[in-house]
Amino acid sequence: MVNSVNQNNPTCCTLCPAMCRLELGWGAPDIPAIEYPTEAGAGLCPRGSALGELLGSPYRLRWPVDIAAAAERMTGDATVLIDGNLPLEEIAAAAEIVASWDGVQLCCVVAPEDEQLLLGIESAGAAYLSDEDLTGCDGFVVVGDAFAANPRCARGVMDALAQHRRAPLVVIDTGGGVTLKFATRRITCRPSAEADALVGDEVASAVEGCKRLGVIISAEPGRGGIWRRVGKQAGELAKSHGGGVSAQTIGANALAAVRVREHLGLISLAEAMKSDNGVRVSLGVDSLGMFGWAGPAVAVAAAALSNQTTESAEVVLPVALACEMGGTFLHAGVRAVQTSALMPPPAGVPTVSELLRALAEAAGAKAPQFSGKLPPTDRITPAGATETSVSLPDGMVLVFARHAARHAEGSLSAHAGWQSQAMPLPEIRICPADAAEMGLADLAQVEVETESHKTIARLRVVRHVAPGTLAISESFPEARRLIPYVIDAGSDAVISGPAAVAVRAVEPAKAQQ
């Protein structure tokens, strides 16, 4: 089995690069829960605590299934999508299985904007900074809401500012996130202009005296194809001031997945999602929820709990949660870390590689047992890519913003009972001037409509949102449909750009429906 990891290794939450420690607790004799270690610096985050509710959830997909029925749909050309933030052992084992299976290709799905950001940083050759490394910096430039993306990142920055009282904290965030509240200088720009702002005179003058600059980036969707350029510019800026870059990705192993793609013969996300690329199989990744798509159809979907993809699939299979699979993670691009599973998956529920092996054997392929060989995770030198030009629509535009509690598009952590109760609607942020002009009150329920979709959201009036911009929480599948991803032909990347938006107050009767 792949998932045989020494239980002496720590157990960690892998939903973001912080990799905070977790321990197994019990809410009742048969209800597993999560407890945080008592030592300082181990981490405390609502996303991690949500995992405890999922371990023993009555809504887990766990019933026996007909593997043969799923395998029948993979007899021709097929593309298998798995979560790029799985342990390296799972990714490598899946690649070995697919290599022996004619007509099947494998894609490790990393959030599209994270993938582009990491490729840009790799090409710049900048050093990566762990959360602990941030404490030694004497200045920071932050793009996006890094504090919402990673709670331990915030601690590292605050510890550094306590040591260097005059250290600059320059923040570029059109979405009005929490990081802006702590900025010594706020850079105001329109969505998709973050790359230009990063190399502008305001940033240069603010960090002029820094000897060890930390550039921290939370690559949020809804800005178009800017993130590869942002990553390269961030690396060059950090190197010019003796520092490094900290990428706050969705999931702890995104950089490893990007680095091992060529070593393992994996295909890109853009290639995997093209409509003429055969049958799609999503194992442990909510591809439709992530991209805000109603299609193309997914023939086979596996998940721990229901999501947008399982609801549309022909065959649904159970699979283990990420915290039930231990293995190797490339922590913050700095070092390899071995983690143990928090607890084994329920009886009969396989890991991703075990499920893929069962599908291959049912389809008549000779699936090998995992060799145990892990691919190298050394820095890569990406080939140049065409930058996507972004043109803003006229009038008010909509972008996405990170959310501190929910993970990614919410297909996993939103199943936690307290999260769905605390935030049943997406949050949408607007600046005070725009709210006053539109006659909208703070905390009102509003209808948000783009060309693609419309939904109900809770309005928040936030001082630092860029004028002319609405920023909606990216952690709801309904919100994702407002700005769906597209495959950009010029850069061959999957992107989502700012969308023209209309927002109106909801009548009380409609809000209650």
Mean pLDDT of 292-308: 89
Res. 266: pLDDT tops 90: yes
- Smallest Cα–Cα separation from 142: which of 393, 500, 397, 464? 464
Last residue of a domain, one of 177, 212, 247: 247
The CATH number for 201's domain is: 3.40.228.10
**C-alpha pair distances (Å), 407 with each of 49, 473, 501:** 11, 11, 25
Residues 105 and 125 both lie in one domain = no
**C-alpha pair distances (Å), 84 with each of 72, 81, 110, 361:** 25, 9, 5, 23
Query: What are 372-384's pLDDT values in tens digits?
Result: 999 999 999 987 6
Q: How many helices (H) and strands (E) does the chain have?
A: 18, 24
Tell me, yes or no, whether 2 lies in a domain. Answer: no
Which alpha helices (H) appear in 344-390, and where do they start and end?
352-362
- If one counts the domains in the chain, the total is 3
Residues 345 and 463 both lie in one domain = no
pLDDT grade, residue 386 (50/70/90)? low
User: Of 84-98, 280-294, 404-418, where does the model show the most confidence?
Assistant: 84-98
Mean pLDDT of the chain: 91
The CATH number for 329's domain is: 3.40.50.740
Write down the pLDDT at residue 144: 97
Tell me, yes or no, whether 254 lies in a domain. Answer: no
pLDDT grade, residue 5 (50/70/90)? very low
> What is the three-state SS of 266-319?
CCCHHHHHCCCCCEEEEECCCHHHHHCCCCCCCCEEEECCCCHHHHHCCEEEEC
Tell me, yes or no, whether 255 lies in a domain. Answer: no
The CATH number for 468's domain is: 2.40.40.20
Residues 74 and 105 both lie in one domain = yes
Mean pLDDT of 71-98: 94
Mean pLDDT of 300-320: 94
Res. 443: pLDDT tops 60: yes
pLDDT grade, residue 274 (50/70/90)? confident
Terminal-to-terminal C-alpha distance of the chain:
49
Q: What percent of the chain has pLDDT above 90?
A: 73
Handedness of CA 246, 251, 253, 256 (dihedral sign): negative
180: tokens are 């802006």
Residues 104 and 146 both lie in one domain = no
Query: What are 7-23's pLDDT values in tens digits?
Result: 578 899 999 999 988 88
Last residue of a domain, one of 212, 247, 282: 247
Tell me, yes or no, whether 376 lies in a domain. Answer: no
What is the pTM (predicted TM-score) of this model? 0.95
Residues 411 and 297 both lie in one domain = no
Handedness of CA 473, 479, 483, 485 (dihedral sign): positive
Res. 512: pLDDT tops 70: no
Exposure of 117 in the CB half-sphere (CA atoms within 13 A): 28
Tell me, yes or no, whether 19 lies in a domain. Answer: no
pLDDT grade, residue 421 (50/70/90)? confident
* Domain coverage including residue 467: 397-511
**6-15, 47-56, 72-81, 418-427: range with lowest mean pLDDT:** 6-15
Tell me, yes or no, whether 78 lies in a domain. Answer: yes
